[in-house]
């Protein structure tokens, strides 16, 4: 069964990699991320942890997208470059979600997936997870380049998220982070 | 005008870019200097599509920190209002510039017009017309002017042609211009750029064919403009090719000649090639593009605006949707944009200006926005003019009979050291251009090429040789061993078959540098000094060669060159045979074989003439040396009261892993250290035979000692100490101690402005730290030139921001000295200042971007990644710190201490300096001590400050 899921996963990752090349829509990227990552849920042992990491990541991503959509009336990540300089608070959460998506430590996404990877030995699942990690990293580098860095857009009035958003974003980030650390300590 | 003339005209705006090994600060807008500064920037801004002033918020910070004076700003605002016929309070305009303008785009764009709605609606048409929204043809022309055809195809039809064509051009030109970095060099470079290119591509046509084909196939409306546009994209490369073209005796140009016409044709060839190959649309020429535009105006304009980053994310998002309705989208965008502009103007007018006619209010705000950069820049300069001018107007008396005198380079970095030295004891210091009056081409001991030790805009008068005065066998033996070891390792590393084996066997050797430089830089540096071959003591061939010597040396040089060229063709000839060949070259009766070989190595009668000319230019006669010495001392006003010791202190810098190292050396010595110049001049001045012929009488016991100021560590090293008699040794040692204390104090002063430096030790380590981005601040933050007596500025703390040139107008009755200063140090300072100005305001285009991404290319420059334009200006880290400009971009303020009439008379007898003054590329302040007044040259008038 795992083999079929992994094969499906690899197919979805390859498809996602090609689709990502010309994707600038936040939602489209999220769909690709979900598409490529969801098969992991069926092969991984730590389903609860993985589910939590997945939902906190997607949740945080959606909250950020919602804020950007509401503030800048856009659903694409073009034209809002330079967040690091012009909107530092928002840029922190964007960095966090991208790190989570790209399976960077010490977030839960990293702990669960890498622990799984180390335990399975060499199999088709390994190939799937490795290609998936590559895809996740591609999202990270593409969005980092397009949103966080670069010269701020002169035709845009940058705004910071209000307290409501900050609380929500902090909650999701901290949940993922704390669970990640706890998971690592429990190993 | 024919095609070739058009191309030639298109290249005229390019500056020359000197190779990185002899980095010369220059004005990237040098070719615009015949226009007024403000107009030149306006024109350049359009050509290069960049802002040439800082963001208003930057100037507001300077204003709030007190650097820009309120009264000066208001005076300049008044001038602006008067010249444009506005009857508005200058205070209101100041308020607008300080409080509102920095946030112009976010300023109340949703302002409710209420009852004034109708009044402000009258603005609509004017704004629409100004933004060309009612004339899309015109807007299209304006927008496409900034892009090449291949780029337009990419922008409008979402293709990828431009980058591939660009990469191919960079690939060819970087390989062709390579100066020894490539392991496998491009063949046939000696045939010249065009012929080499034809062989590279396997084609056969001439330069004009390409231009005609491009004109016929792509049909740009104006080829001159089109080529200029393309050259903006290849600005760095084209500037370097221009340098090569204009410097025919540059060794690499002699070997592999390059020229701009060939370069332009190569660019056009590659663009055409890639358009033919990759263009998937039916748009094959500008005619097709205009046709397409006729039917899809809104789509094309929106895509161009999107590419220019002029759309907000809201519209970007809408454009990227599937099948967007471009017409309604464009309408929505233009309405939105116009409404926001109206709201902003209404808000500012209602709250601040309260002008009845909204059109007048709009005209005022638009003009302020256009000119505020210039007003702010002018205000910075004039604020400094007032502050420092008044300081310089106060005179202090120096005590007679100084302990010693020291002549430093005019360079800004000498200021602190001079001041600190003067405060230790009774020292008198002077400033002079760093070539110390001796403009020479020098062939160093153990090297074969000439170092041009004079300002880049001048040609050296003479050639001198550095010759060993000690036995060199020990040095040569050690050097040979180290050289062989280095070359062997390099070859093993770079050979395609050996790198794996090399890493396995000798990889650890590279760890020596890696760990040593990272963990123990100080110890490693000391150790390296020990194992390095110590060069022998040297002298210079300062005396002129006799005619017989010239003939003999030229013949010897040529005969050896002939033997060498035959050897390269696997043909050995004897010395006598080579001599016969030389005679046949001169008589013009070479046989076919000889002609073939010698032509290949460019050995011909012209070259013989040139070499003979160079030999005849070697050294100076005693009379000439005496004249040089007189001129030098007159230039700085040192004509009597000579102390026992006079130090000639040149400067150089020291850093590791820094391609820009020569940018930190002496600009007046052509980007080299001033070491040779001070030594040569000291030898001349210490020569008793020369002293006898001089008009200035130097006492017998006065000794000139050469020294070098290391601007990274602020340490001073002395040379040729053997000329000091034992009787004066003690005094000399005491002076040396004083210099040491001055160095320590200068370092302590610099710690305050150097990033990540907490103590003196941190300053010293920077010269050997290979990860250090800023070994020193170099010439950044330069703001002024002072030409006058040291007494006038010695009590001012100028924080290494001023070029200081000694000048005493009472000793210059016919203005000769002042004219020489204006034609030399003045121009150098202006080039340095302009380089810093443009690298700060537009680092992407006129600077070289972040050092982090730099790769050295061909050993003559740097570029980003593997394919980018050659970066010609200063790195981001040189002029910025933590995203804040460290260098204050303003034109240099030149203070000349002389009576007004005298200074004007001197300036009007010069060409280039006068043009710079007239067009306000520099700001001139006259310190008229006789009237005890300051005069600022502004709009062609001298206004009292």
Handedness of CA B823, B666, B919, B87 (dihedral sign): negative
Distance set, CA B674 to CA A72, B418, B451, B677, B680 (Å): 57, 17, 11, 5, 10
- Tell whether A153 is within 8 A of chain B (Cβ): yes
Q: Is the pLDDT of residue B110 over 90?
A: no
- Tell whether B312 is within 8 A of chain A (Cβ): yes
The Cα B466–Cα B448 span in angstroms is 11
- Measured in degrees and rounded to the nearest 5, phi and psi for residue B926 equal -100, 125
Taking an 8 Å cut-off on Cβ atoms, the answer to whether B316 and A76 are in contact is yes
Min distance A153 CA to chain B CA atoms (Å): 7
Taking an 8 Å cut-off on Cβ atoms, the answer to whether A79 and B312 are in contact is yes
Min distance B627 CA to chain A CA atoms (Å): 56
Region of residue B830 (left: phi > 0; alpha: psi -120 to 50; beta: else)? alpha
When CB atoms are compared, the residue of B312, B317, B883 closest to A155 is: B312
> Which secondary structure element, helix H or strand E, spans residue B620, and what is its range?
none
Comparing B46-60, B342-356, B916-930, the range with the smallest average pLDDT is B342-356
Tens of pLDDT, residues A113-172: 999 999 988 889 999 999 999 999 999 999 999 999 988 888 888 999 999 999 999 999
Taking an 8 Å cut-off on Cβ atoms, the answer to whether B316 and A79 are in contact is yes
Taking an 8 Å cut-off on Cβ atoms, the answer to whether B314 and A76 are in contact is no
Please report the pLDDT score of residue B150 as a whole number. 97
Mutation test of the interface with chain A: which of B111, B312, B853, choosing the one with the most A Cβ atoms within 10 A? B312
Shortest CA distance to B436 belongs to which of B631, B570, B304?
B631
Of the two residues B271 and A187, the one the predictor is more confident about is B271
* Collapsed DSSP state (helix, strand, coil) of residue B708: strand
- Tell whether A154 is within 8 A of chain B (Cβ): yes
Please report the pLDDT score of residue B113 as a whole number. 67
Mean pLDDT along residues B590-604? 83
Q: Is the pLDDT of residue A27 over 80?
A: yes
Taking an 8 Å cut-off on Cβ atoms, the answer to whether B313 and A76 are in contact is yes
The Cα B364–Cα B84 span in angstroms is 9
Min distance B713 CA to chain A CA atoms (Å): 34
Helix axes B358-393, B56-64, angle to 10 degrees: 50
H helices of B178-312, in order, are: 193-201, 207-218, 223-233, 235-246, 251-255, 260-278, 286-295, 297-307
* Collapsed DSSP state (helix, strand, coil) of residue B381: helix
Min distance B857 CA to chain A CA atoms (Å): 25
DSSP calls for B404-473: EEEEEESSTTHHHHHHHHHTTSSEEEEEE-TTTT--EEEE-TT--SEEEES-TTS--SEEEEEEESS--H
Quick count: other Cβ atoms within 10 Å of Cβ A151? 11
Residues B354, B102: contact at Cβ < 8 Å? no
Residue of A nearest to B882 (CA): A85
Please report the pLDDT score of residue B520 as a whole number. 86
Residue of B nearest to A24 (CA): B320
Residues A98, A50: contact at Cβ < 8 Å? no
> What rounded mean pLDDT belongs to chain A?
93
Residue of B nearest to A159 (CA): B106
Residues B862, B850: contact at Cβ < 8 Å? no
Please report the pLDDT score of residue B632 as a whole number. 95
Comparing A177-181, B158-162, B771-775, the range with the smallest average pLDDT is B771-775
Taking an 8 Å cut-off on Cβ atoms, the answer to whether A155 and B320 are in contact is no
Tens of pLDDT, residues B785-808: 999 999 999 989 999 999 999 999
Percent of chain B with pLDDT over 70: 99
Mean pLDDT along residues B36-54? 96
> What rounded mean pLDDT belongs to chain B?
92
Mean pLDDT along residues B222-227? 94
Tens of pLDDT, residues A91-116: 999 999 999 999 999 999 999 999 99
Give residues with Cβ within 8 angstroms of B727, minimum separation 6: none
Mean pLDDT along residues B380-405? 89
Region of residue B219 (left: phi > 0; alpha: psi -120 to 50; beta: else)? left
Please report the pLDDT score of residue B524 as a whole number. 86
Contacts of B337 in chain A (CB under 8 A): none
Taking an 8 Å cut-off on Cβ atoms, the answer to whether B314 and A75 are in contact is no
In this prediction, residue B464 has a pLDDT band, given cuts at 50, 70 and 90, of: very high
Mean pLDDT along residues B633-637? 93
The Cα B944–Cα B385 span in angstroms is 11
Handedness of CA B371, B373, B377, B380 (dihedral sign): positive
Q: Is the pLDDT of residue A66 over 90?
A: yes
The Cα B110–Cα B102 span in angstroms is 18
Taking an 8 Å cut-off on Cβ atoms, the answer to whether A75 and B312 are in contact is no
> Which secondary structure element, helix H or strand E, spans residue B671, and what is its range?
none
Please report the pLDDT score of residue B114 as a whole number. 66
Contacts of A28 in chain B (CB under 8 A): none
When CB atoms are compared, the residue of A72, A80, A157 closest to B105 is: A157
- Measured in degrees and rounded to the nearest 5, phi and psi for residue B672 equal -115, 170
Please report the pLDDT score of residue B745 as a whole number. 96
Contacts of A25 in chain B (CB under 8 A): 320
Mutation test of the interface with chain B: which of A28, A76, A145, choosing the one with the most B Cβ atoms within 10 A? A76
- Tell whether A182 is within 8 A of chain B (Cβ): no
Please report the pLDDT score of residue B590 as a whole number. 86
Taking an 8 Å cut-off on Cβ atoms, the answer to whether A78 and B313 are in contact is yes
- Tell whether A80 is within 8 A of chain B (Cβ): yes
Taking an 8 Å cut-off on Cβ atoms, the answer to whether B312 and A156 are in contact is yes
Mean pLDDT along residues B557-586? 86
pTM: 0.91
When CB atoms are compared, the residue of A80, A85, A154 closest to B313 is: A80
* Collapsed DSSP state (helix, strand, coil) of residue B222: coil
Distance set, CA B400 to CA B180, B337, B428, B641, B643 (Å): 55, 71, 10, 8, 10
Shortest CA distance to B428 belongs to which of B452, B397, B459, B455?
B397
Taking an 8 Å cut-off on Cβ atoms, the answer to whether A155 and B883 are in contact is no
Tens of pLDDT, residues B672-707: 999 999 999 999 999 999 999 999 999 999 999 999
Tens of pLDDT, residues B358-380: 899 999 999 999 999 999 999 99
Q: Give Rg (Cα) of chain B.
A: 31
Q: Is the pLDDT of residue B37 over 80?
A: yes
Task: Report residue B864 as tokens.
Answer: 């980003």
Write out residues 76-115 of B within 8 Å (CB-CB) of A: 105-106
- Tell whether B322 is within 8 A of chain A (Cβ): no
The Cα B7–Cα B238 span in angstroms is 13
Task: Report residue A111 as tokens.
Answer: 């702990």
The Cα B435–Cα B457 span in angstroms is 13
Taking an 8 Å cut-off on Cβ atoms, the answer to whether B320 and A78 are in contact is yes
Of the two residues B112 and B406, the one the predictor is more confident about is B406
* Collapsed DSSP state (helix, strand, coil) of residue B532: coil
When CB atoms are compared, the residue of A76, A155, A156 closest to B320 is: A76
Contacts of B310 in chain A (CB under 8 A): 155
The Cα A184–Cα A115 span in angstroms is 9
Distance set, CA B881 to CA B554, B654, B781, B886 (Å): 53, 21, 12, 6
When CB atoms are compared, the residue of B106, B311, B317 closest to A157 is: B106
Q: Is the pLDDT of residue B596 over 90?
A: no
Please report the pLDDT score of residue B423 as a whole number. 94
Tens of pLDDT, residues B718-758: 999 999 999 999 999 999 999 999 999 999 999 999 998 88
Contacts of B317 in chain A (CB under 8 A): 73-76, 78-79
Q: For the sheet containing B715-718, what is the strand order?
A: B427-432, B404-409, B645-652, B703-710, B715-718
Comparing A58-72, B96-110, B280-294, B672-686, the range with the smallest average pLDDT is B96-110
Please report the pLDDT score of residue B449 as a whole number. 78
Write out residues 847-886 of B within 8 Å (CB-CB) of A: 883
First to last CA, chain A: 27
Query: Which residue is it, tokens 């080299």?
Result: B672
Indicate the burial class of B547 (C-beta count within 10 angstroms; 0-12, 13-18, 19 or more): exposed
Residue of A nearest to B105 (CA): A155
Please report the pLDDT score of residue A1 as a whole number. 65
The Cα B716–Cα B710 span in angstroms is 6
Taking an 8 Å cut-off on Cβ atoms, the answer to whether B311 and A73 are in contact is no
The Cα B536–Cα A107 span in angstroms is 63
Tens of pLDDT, residues A3-16: 899 999 999 999 99
The answer, yes or no, to whether ipTM is higher than 0.85 is yes
Percent of chain B with pLDDT over 90: 67
Tens of pLDDT, residues B807-834: 999 999 999 999 999 999 999 999 999 9
Min distance B570 CA to chain A CA atoms (Å): 56
- Tell whether A78 is within 8 A of chain B (Cβ): yes
Residues A40, A9: contact at Cβ < 8 Å? yes
């Amino acid at each position: 069964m795992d083999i079929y899921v992994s094969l499906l996963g690899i197919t979805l990752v390859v498809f996602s990699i090609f689709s990502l090349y010309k994707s600038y829509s936040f939602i489209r990227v999220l769909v690709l991320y979900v598409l490529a990552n969801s098969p992991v849920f069926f092969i991984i042992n730590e389903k609860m942890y993985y589910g939590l990491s997945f939902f906190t990541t997607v949740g945080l991503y959606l909250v950020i997208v919602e804020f950007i959509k509401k503030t800048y009336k856009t659903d694409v990540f073009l034209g809002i470059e330079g967040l690091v300089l012009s909107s530092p608070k928002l840029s922190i959460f964007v960095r966090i979600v991208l790190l989570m998506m790209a399976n960077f430590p010490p977030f839960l996404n990293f702990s669960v997936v890498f622990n799984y990877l180390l335990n399975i030995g060499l199999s088709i699942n390994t190939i799937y997870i490795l290609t998936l990690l590559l895809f996740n990293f591609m999202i990270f580098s593409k969005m980092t380049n397009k949103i966080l860095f670069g010269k701020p857009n002169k035709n845009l009035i940058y705004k910071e998220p209000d307290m409501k958003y900050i609380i929500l974003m902090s909650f999701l980030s901290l949940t993922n982070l704390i669970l990640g650390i706890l998971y690592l300590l429990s190993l | 005008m024919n095609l070739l003339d058009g191309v030639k005209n298109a290249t005229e705006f390019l500056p020359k870019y000197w190779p990185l090994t002899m980095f010369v600060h220059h004005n990237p807008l040098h070719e615009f200097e015949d226009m007024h500064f403000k107009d030149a920037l306006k024109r350049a801004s359009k050509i290069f599509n960049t802002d040439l002033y800082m963001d208003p918020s930057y100037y507001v910070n300077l204003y709030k920190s007190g650097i820009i004076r309120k009264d000066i700003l208001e005076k300049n605002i008044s001038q602006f209002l008067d010249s444009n016929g506005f009857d508005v309070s200058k205070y209101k305009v100041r308020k607008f510039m300080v409080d509102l303008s920095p946030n112009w785009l976010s300023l109340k764009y949703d302002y409710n017009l209420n009852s004034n709605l109708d009044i402000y609606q009258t603005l609509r048409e004017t704004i629409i017309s100004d933004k060309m929204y009612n004339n899309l043809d015109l807007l299209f022309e304006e927008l496409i002017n900034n892009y090449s055809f291949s780029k337009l195809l990419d922008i409008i039809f979402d293709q990828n042609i431009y980058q591939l064509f660009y990469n191919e051009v960079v690939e060819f030109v970087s390989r062709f211009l390579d100066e020894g970095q490539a392991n496998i060099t491009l063949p046939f470079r000696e045939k010249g750029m065009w012929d080499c290119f034809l062989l590279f591509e396997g084609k056969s046509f001439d330069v004009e064919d390409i231009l005609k084909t491009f004109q016929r196939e792509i049909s740009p409306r104006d080829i001159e403009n089109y080529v200029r546009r393309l050259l903006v994209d290849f600005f760095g490369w084209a500037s370097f090719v221009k340098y090569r073209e204009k410097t025919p005796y540059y060794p690499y140009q002699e070997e592999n000649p390059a020229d701009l016409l060939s370069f332009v044709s190569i660019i056009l060839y590659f663009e055409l090639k890639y358009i033919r190959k990759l263009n998937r649309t039916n748009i094959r020429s500008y005619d097709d593009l205009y046709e397409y535009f006729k039917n899809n105006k809104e789509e094309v304009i929106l895509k161009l605006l999107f590419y220019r980053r002029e759309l907000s994310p809201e519209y970007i998002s809408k454009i990227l949707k599937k099948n967007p309705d471009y017409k309604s989208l464009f309408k929505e965008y233009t309405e939105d944009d116009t409404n926001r502009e109206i709201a902003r103007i209404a808000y500012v007018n209602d709250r601040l200006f309260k002008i009845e006619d909204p059109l007048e209010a709009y005209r005022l705000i638009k003009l302020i926005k256009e000119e505020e950069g210039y007003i702010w820049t002018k205000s910075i300069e004039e604020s400094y003019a007032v502050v420092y001018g008044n300081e310089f107007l106060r005179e202090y008396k120096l005590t007679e009979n100084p302990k010693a005198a020291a002549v430093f380079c005019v360079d800004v970095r000498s200021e602190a050291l001079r001041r600190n030295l003067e405060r230790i004891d009774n020292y008198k210091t002077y400033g002079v251009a760093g070539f110390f009056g001796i403009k020479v081409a020098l062939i160093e001991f153990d090297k074969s090429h000439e170092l041009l030790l004079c300002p880049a805009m001048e040609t050296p008068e003479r050639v001198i040789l550095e010759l060993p005065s000690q036995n060199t066998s020990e040095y040569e033996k050690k050097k040979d061993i180290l050289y062989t070891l280095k070359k062997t390792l390099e070859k093993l590393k770079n050979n395609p078959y050996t790198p794996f084996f090399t890493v396995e066997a000798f990889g650890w050797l590279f760890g020596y540098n890696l760990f040593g430089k990272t963990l123990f830089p100080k110890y490693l540096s000391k150790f390296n000094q020990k194992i390095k071959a110590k060069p022998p003591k040297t002298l210079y061939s300062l005396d002129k060669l006799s005619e017989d010597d010239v003939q003999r040396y030229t013949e010897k040089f040529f005969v050896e060159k002939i033997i060498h060229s035959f050897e390269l063709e696997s043909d050995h000839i004897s010395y006598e045979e080579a001599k016969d060949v030389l005679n046949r070259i001169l008589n013009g009766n070479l046989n076919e074989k000889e002609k073939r070989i010698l032509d290949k190595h460019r050995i011909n009668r012209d070259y013989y003439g040139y070499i003979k000319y160079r030999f005849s230019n070697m050294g100076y006669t005693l009379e000439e040396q005496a004249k040089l010495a007189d001129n030098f001392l007159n230039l700085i006003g040192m004509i009597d009261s000579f102390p026992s010791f006079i130090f000639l202190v040149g400067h150089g810098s020291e850093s590791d892993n820094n391609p820009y190292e020569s940018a930190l050396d002496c600009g007046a010595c052509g980007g080299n250290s001033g070491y040779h110049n001070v030594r040569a001049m000291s030898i001349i001045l210490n020569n008793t035979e020369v002293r006898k012929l001089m008009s200035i009488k130097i006492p017998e016991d006065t000794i000139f000692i050469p020294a070098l100021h290391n601007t990274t560590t602020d340490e001073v090293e002395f040379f040729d100490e053997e000329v000091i008699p034992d009787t004066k040794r003690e005094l000399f040692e005491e002076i040396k101690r004083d210099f040491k204390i001055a160095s320590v104090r200068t370092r302590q002063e610099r710690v305050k402005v150097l990033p990540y430096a907490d103590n003196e030790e941190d300053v010293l380590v920077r010269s050997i730290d290979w990860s250090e981005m800023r070994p020193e601040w170099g010439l950044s933050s330069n703001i002024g030139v002072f030409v006058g007596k040291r007494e006038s500025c010695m009590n001012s703390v100028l924080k290494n921001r001023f070029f200081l040139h000694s000048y005493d107008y009472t000793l210059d009755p016919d203005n000769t000295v002042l004219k020489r200063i204006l034609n030399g140090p003045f121009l150098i300072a202006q080039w340095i200042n302009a380089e810093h100005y443009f690298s700060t305001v537009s680092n992407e285009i006129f600077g070289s971007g972040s050092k982090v991404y730099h790769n050295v290319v061909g050993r003559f420059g740097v570029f980003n990644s593997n394919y980018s334009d050659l970066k010609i200006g200063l790195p981001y880290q040189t002029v910025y710190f933590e995203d804040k400009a460290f260098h204050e971009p303003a034109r240099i303020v030149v203070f000349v201490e002389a009576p007004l009439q005298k200074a004007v008379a001197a300036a009007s007898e010069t060409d280039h300096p006068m043009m710079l003054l007239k067009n306000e590329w520099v700001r001139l302040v006259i310190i008229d001590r006789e009237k005890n007044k300051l005069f600022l040259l502004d709009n062609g008038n001298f206004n009292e400050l």
